[in-house]
Amino acid sequence: MANISPIRILKKAGLIVCFFLSTTISFAVPDQVWQFSEEMLKAYRLVLNLQPDKAQEILSKISSPAEELHKIYVLSLSETVDILITEDQKRFDQLETNFRQRLQHIDNLPESAEKLFLEAELNLQKGFNLLNMGQNLNAVLAIRRAYNTSQECIKKYPTFAPIKKTYGVIQVMIGSVPDKYHWFMSLLGMRGSVVKGQKLLQELRESRSSLSTEATILFFCIKGFINQQFAESALGFSEILKEQPENRLVLFIAINMCMKDAQSEKALEYMATLDHHNQGLQMYYIEYLHAEALLNKGEYQNAIAYYQKFLRGYHSQSFKKDAHYKIAICNWLLNNEAEAKIYFERAKTVGRDQADPDKNAAMQLLENKFPNKKLLRVRYFTDGGFYKEAQHVVQSIQFTELHSLKEQTEYFYRLARLAHKTEEFSVAKIYYEETIKLSKENPWYFAPNAALQLGYIYRDQNDFEKAKKYFELAMSYRRHEYKSSIDTKSRSALDQMKASKG
């Protein structure tokens, strides 16, 4: 249960998915579309802009009985945002008390769509807070309550639009759970579908609801993190930013998507904008992403500075192992071997290896030696979208320089990734196949991801039989650092293909 991957996937952008799971309800007059008053909307937008203190100032002045439940929810949301960013244990304990009191109050209200909706939302929000603090069993139980309540709401009140967001998100989460956890989901009586969840969110996007923008944010998050359609997701967030250019949350997610889509330069532009709008909660994870973008660009000394800034401010243990490892790598690429070895050894003892970057760092550290410098440069240039630089390094590599089977396998994998990114699909397929052939049963991520990428290529070429073959192959590899995420992506792709066939 501690490794349930879809929940982690939805938390990857700094555990901010709860920011999107918010909503409001009207107690006096049921609102099937869901729209806020002007002042409540102002407070709500401040929360989503990661400015909970300013939001609470406005909320303290709202006293209308008709907005009581709106106020309860937005206040709870503002506290949740604070906890997710600061990870303050004392504030978390107070928020737990507030959750309990608010849910008790709601439980005493007459049954309505609004009541069920708010119960589901608060339980889902509570579940994400518990996950963030490492209380996984309690988190799953809270999410199960949210699932049951949202299911009841959508059955009893099918025209109540906001529940499409809650139920849609839960459908995506459960539908993304890897096969090895299906027994657990069945035991809890929960079933999900990524396709169904996206459909519900799309319907809310097209409505007149105040939540339509929020549904759009969720929709494109899923496009990226679950469907791996990063280009489409990044484009979607760029459209949102045309209307809300200063929204810190949207900027944050857009940065994540650009990094995933090999657009490091664009990500750096968004970071500069975010630096100009720095009022509100401090996001140290941005410093980590800034360092990653600079590493991709080849600015290793500047990358070190941002990794160190991240380590000074970030309270969670996630990404700390990788940050130390990356500082070692930057020094290695700068030929500062003594400093590289210091951080290499530190990386072995700090942080934890639950997030994918930390898992990858842990695997590299187990080998107790630094990777091939040229292959590293090809990897990072490709990841950042600096394809000319990557090709220049590739041309300098002699196969005789690759002294191990792993280096030889990675060489073909890097050639495949570069060809894929530059849309040379026929060449990419050849190199991916060679990667799979050379990897055999070794516990490297090269072959599983090569199979996943071949699945995407064949899917996009409408060769669904071959796509299915490679998605299933990707899931068949049992030991590698990206097992959970690659399985989730493969299963999601298979579900989407199945749904598209009717």
Distance CA 319, CA 321 (A): 6
DSSP notation for 115-149: HHHHHHHHHHHHHHHHHHTT-HHHHHHHHHHHHHH
Radius of gyration of the chain (CA): 23
For 368-385, how does the pLDDT look when each residue is reduced to its tens digit (9 = 90+)? 999 999 999 999 999 999
Residue found under tokens 């579900």:
495
In tens, the pLDDT along 261-309 reads: 999 999 999 999 999 998 899 889 999 999 999 999 999 999 999 999 9
Q: Given this model, what pLDDT does residue 180 score?
A: 67
Q: What is the pLDDT of residue 390?
A: 98
Q: Is residue 502 classed exposed, middle or buried when 0-12, 13-18 and 19+ CB atoms within 10 A define those classes?
A: exposed
- Give residue 452's pLDDT: 97
User: Alpha-carbon distance 49 to 125, whole Å?
Assistant: 17
Tokens of 150: 């949202």
Q: Is 90 exposed, middle or buried (0-12, 13-18, 19+ CB in 10 A)?
A: exposed
Token pair recorded at residue 217: 């944010």
Per-residue pLDDT, 20 = 45
The whole-number pLDDT of residue 22 equals 41
Q: Which residues of 324-360 are buried (b: 16+ CB within 10 A; e: fewer)?
A: bbbbbbbbbbeebeeebeebbebbeebbebbbbbbbb
397-418 as b/e: b if 16+ CB within 10 A: beeeebeeebbebbbbbbbbbb
Asked whether this chain's domains 284-370 and 388-502 adopt the same fold, the reply is yes
CB contact at 8 A, 127 and 143:
yes
CATH of domain 388-502: 1.25.40.10
Backbone angles phi, psi at 25, to 5 degrees: -140, 150
Residue 500 is predicted with a pLDDT of 76
State the pLDDT at residue 179.
67
- In terms of phi and psi (left: phi > 0; alpha: psi -120 to 50; beta: otherwise), the region of 398 is beta
pTM of the model: 0.85
In this structure, whether the domain defined by 284-370 belongs to CATH 1.10.287.70 is answered with no
Domain coordinates in residue numbering, the chain: 5-226, 284-370, 388-502
Got the DSSP string for 451-488? HHHHHHHHHHTT-HHHHHHHHHHHHH--SSTTHHHHHH
Print pLDDT tens along the chain (502 aa).
Answer: 444 444 444 444 344 444 444 433 333 445 788 889 999 999 989 998 999 999 999 999 999 998 898 898 889 888 888 888 777 777 888 888 999 999 999 999 999 999 999 999 999 989 888 887 778 889 899 999 999 999 999 999 999 998 999 999 999 988 887 666 777 888 888 998 888 999 999 999 999 888 888 899 999 999 998 888 899 999 999 999 999 999 999 999 999 999 999 999 999 999 999 999 988 998 899 999 999 999 999 999 999 999 999 999 988 888 999 999 999 999 999 999 999 999 999 999 999 888 889 999 999 999 999 999 999 999 999 999 999 999 999 999 999 999 999 999 999 999 999 999 999 999 999 999 999 999 988 999 999 999 999 999 999 999 999 999 999 999 999 888 888 889 888 988 998 888 777 6
